[in-house]
Structure 1
Amino acid sequence: MPFDELLKELQGQKTAQEDPNHVPLGQLFNDAFMGKYSNMNSFAEFVEKGNFKIETREDIGNIPDELFDRHVARETKFADWKAMLETATKELSK
């Protein structure tokens, strides 16, 4: 790995384009996905309805699992966050 890339990674400055394994939440849970699996039109609407502040996956990790899983189960066709994330990841890779 070139030094400048290593430096960016160490500083946490890698972008989604530089790291293909990191897909922005808005792209992963796009409007079509949310419309198909929930009564909401966007991930932002889903987050707002749960009164969460989520901009990154790390933000989701800061929410107690039980609380976020209940919101997912109540507002989507998924039993929990893990199932929702797995389905979105599979559909994005199609």
Structure 2
Amino acid sequence: MRKQKPMSFDDLLTELQGQKTAQEDPNHVPLRVLFNDAFMKNHTRWGTFDEFLEKGNFQVNVLEDVNNIPDEFLDRHVARETDFSDWDTMLEVANKEHAAKA
């Protein structure tokens, strides 16, 4: 089984825009799959990824909005609202859990 690479922040930006599809990258896992409800309930205070973003007051409707989220704000929100110390760690664990199920 080939190990899946963790999603980068740039990939997150593209995913949130809805521009990246499975046809463009067959190894790509949509955020709603990666951060499914079970993952969010197990590792965060929220039931869905959308609720998690809303709690952080992150407006993620367009790329400009996502680009305006400083890394330190996202890391702080992750540290406050999840089991993880930062966004990269949360992303890494989500990718590992998803790969283990595949």
TM bin (shorter chain): 0.7 to 0.9
Q: Which has the higher contact order (CA 8 A, sep 6+)?
A: 2
Deviations 1:15-42 (A, max 9, x none): 2244123211111100000000011000
Structure 1 unmatched runs, 5+ = 1-12
Please report the RMSD computed on the Cα atoms of aligned residues, expressed in angstroms.
2.4
Determine what percentage of the aligned residue pairs are the same residue: 63
- Of residues 61-70 and 41-50 in structure 1, the stretch that sits farther from structure 2 once superposed is 61-70
- Give 1:54's match in structure 2, choosing from 32, 55, 60: 60
Q: Quote the residue 2:35 is aligned against.
A: 29
Question: TM-score, with normalisation over the residues of structure 1?
Answer: 0.74
Structure 2 gap segments, 5+ residues each: 1-18
Distance change >3 Å, CA 30–CA 51, structure 1 → 2: same
The structure whose Rg is larger is 1
Partner residue of 2:72 out of 66, 71, 91: 66
Aligned residue pair count: 82
TM-score in terms of structure 2 length: 0.69
Instruction: Assess if the C-alpha contact under 8 Å between 1:24 and 1:56 holds in 2.
Output: no
Cα distance in 2 for residues equivalent to 1:57 and 1:93: 27
Where does structure 1 differ by over 4 angstroms across 4 or more consecutive aligned residues?
55-62
